[in-house]
Amino acid sequence: MNRKLRMGMVGGGRGAFIGGVHRIAASMDGLIELTCGAFSSEPGKSKASGADLMLPPEKCYGDYEEMILTEKNLPEGERMDFVSIVTPNHMHYGPAKLAMESGFDVICDKPITFTMDEALDLEKTVAATGRVFALTHNYTGYPMVKQAKKMIADGKLGKIRKLVVEYPQGWLTDKEEDNNYKQAIWRTDPERSGIAGGMGDIGTHAENLAEYITGLQIEELCADINIMVPGRLLDDDGNVLLHLNNGAKGILYASQISAGEENNLRIRIYGELGGMEWAQQEPNSLIVKWHGKPMEIYRTAVGNLYPVTKAHYRIPAGHPEGYLEAFANIYRNFALAVIAKKEGKSPDPIYDFPTVKDGVRGMQFIQSVIASGKSQQKWVKF
């Protein structure tokens, strides 16, 4: 390609959080430019938001249908290449389906949809249209996560026996949905989030990260799903026992009332030969605790890391990369797949990203964990 890919965004208007993250991530590696958007369901707000981003008014659409259908009819040299969907959960399915059916590739925030049925339908749509579809489970974009996954796949830890993945946050300690706090309001609203609150918002990240790194699958689970803040409508804390498909045991928890915690996603994996620990708040370190040998700390850009690891950082050792860079890795890899398709090439598997399958699995997780939380039966199949 001798030009940047053109991105049209759905959602992410003034006051949104994740839309800005997607825009920075998209622009990081010089492969993508934002050329249009339906930033808000209010046309005026959409245009104002686009103006903030220095887009001309005619590229700021009133809704996603207008954007997709208009852009579809533009000539190749002007048309957007793909759609980025950054709306609340209940607004993912519509634009994703229409975009793919209109010939556009899609990158979409998680969880993939509002309902399981929608997720399964998108899975079919991807298959039917052959479009590239990426889901922004951004935590899998960190270089040391890539290193961990490959070390485990290479058998460095031996057979995996135990997994602990935890995702405590404290930002919903108070009833922020009553405080005109936009992020809190939609995330605690069953009309926009779906059947799960924290389990959908961050539990799915934990589930995705755990299965991604280990290459294992959760087979059955036993969940204690709680609303700890009186009056809240969706879960804000959940503790889950896991059985994995190789016989390993595990714990997953996600909490948004862990007062004082920031965004403390952390995973520990133990095999027959050693343990491994990675924490998102210190993402450039991967701690490997060998059984009977000194522990090692693998660091971004230090030493002889795997090629897949090296492909996911930009700057030398000791120059910390963070959340935005990991998020950008998802966009970069998605962009490379879009370009490869345009050029009729196979994408390089080193540049992987979460797909519609991860999205479906995430919805299954939400369903299972919420069902288990309501059940008096101990184990629920995943």
- Return the residues of window 296-355 that contact a second copy according to CB under 8 A: 296-299, 301-304, 314-325
Closest distance between a second copy and the C-beta of residue 82, in Å?
Answer: 17
CB of 364 to a second copy, least distance (A): 21
Phi (first) and psi of residue 193, to 5 degrees = -95, -30
Minimum CB distance to a second copy smaller for 98 or for 326: 326
Query: Of 193, 200, 87, 204, whose CA–CA distance to 137 is shortest?
Result: 204
User: For a second copy, what does the binding mask look like between residues 194 and 213, x meaning CB under 8 A?
Assistant: --------------------
Burial class (CB in 10 A: 0-12, 13-18, 19+), 222: middle
Contact 28, 325 (CB under 8 A): yes
Query: Is 290 or 351 the residue whose CB approaches a second copy more closely?
Result: 290
Indicate whether 105 belongs to the interface with a second copy (CB under 8 A). Answer: no
Q: How far is the CB of 365 from a second copy (least distance, A)?
A: 18
Q: Which of 4, 89, 22 is nearest to 330 (CA)?
A: 22
Q: Which of 108, 82, 25, 138 is nearest to 360 (CA)?
A: 108
> What's the CA gap between 37 and 83, in Å, rounded?
9
Q: Scanning residues 30 to 59, which ones bind a second copy (CB under 8 A)? A: 30, 51, 53-54
In whole angstroms, how close is the CB of 9 to a second copy at the nearest point? 13
Compute the least distance from the CB of residue 56 to a second copy, in Å: 9
Residues written for the chain: 382
Coil, strand or helix at 282: coil
Given 58, 178, 224, 348, the residue binding a second copy (CB under 8 A):
224
Told to check if 241 binds a second copy by CB under 8 A, we report: yes
Q: Does 245 bind a second copy (CB under 8 A)?
A: no
Selected binder of a second copy within 42, 281, 345, 381 (CB under 8 A): 281
Q: Between residues 7 and 360, which has the closer beta carbon with respect to a second copy?
A: 7
Q: Record the tokens describing residue 285, joined without a space.
A: 């370190």
Judged by CB, which is closer to a second copy: 21, or 80?
Answer: 21
The correct pick among 75, 77, 231, 294 for binding a second copy (CB under 8 A) is: 294
Cα separation, 123 vs 117, in Å, equals 10
Within 10 angstroms of residue 54's Cβ, the number of other Cβ atoms is 7
Q: How many CB atoms lie within 10 A of CB 354?
A: 27
Query: Least CB distance from residue 376 to a second copy, whole Å?
Result: 5
Q: How many CB atoms lie within 10 A of CB 375?
A: 12
Asked if residue 282 binds a second copy (CB under 8 A), the reply is: yes
Site residues for a second copy, 111-170, by CB under 8 A, read: 157, 161-162, 164, 166, 168-170
Please state the closest distance from residue 69 (CB atom) to a second copy, in A: 27
**Rounded least distance, CB 57 to a second copy, Å:** 11
Our finding on whether 78 is near a second copy (CB under 8 A) is: no
Region of 97-105, 106-114, 148-156, 293-301 interacting with a second copy (CB under 8 A): 293-301
Q: How many residues bind a second copy (CB under 8 A)?
A: 93
For a second copy, which stretch binds (CB under 8 A), given 58-66, 188-196, 288-296, 359-367?
288-296
- Measure CA 176 to chain center: 23
Which residue among 185, 222, 311, 371 contacts a second copy (CB under 8 A)? 222
Handedness of CA 298, 304, 310, 313 (dihedral sign): positive
Query: DSSP code of 140?
Result: G
Q: List the beta bridge partners of residue 107.
A: 84, 134
> How far is residue 17's CA from residue 183's CA, in Å, rounded to a whole number?
8
Among residues 23, 97, 232, 312, the one that binds a second copy under rule CB under 8 A = 23
Q: Which of 122, 9, 74, 6 is nearest to 359 (CA)?
A: 122
How far apart are alpha carbons 145 and 142 in whole angstroms?
5
The interface region with a second copy, picked from 71-79, 104-112, 234-242, 329-337 by CB under 8 A, is 234-242
Chosen residue from 91, 100, 257, 336 binding a second copy by CB under 8 A: 257
Torsion of CA 36, 325, 280, 261, to 10 degrees: -50
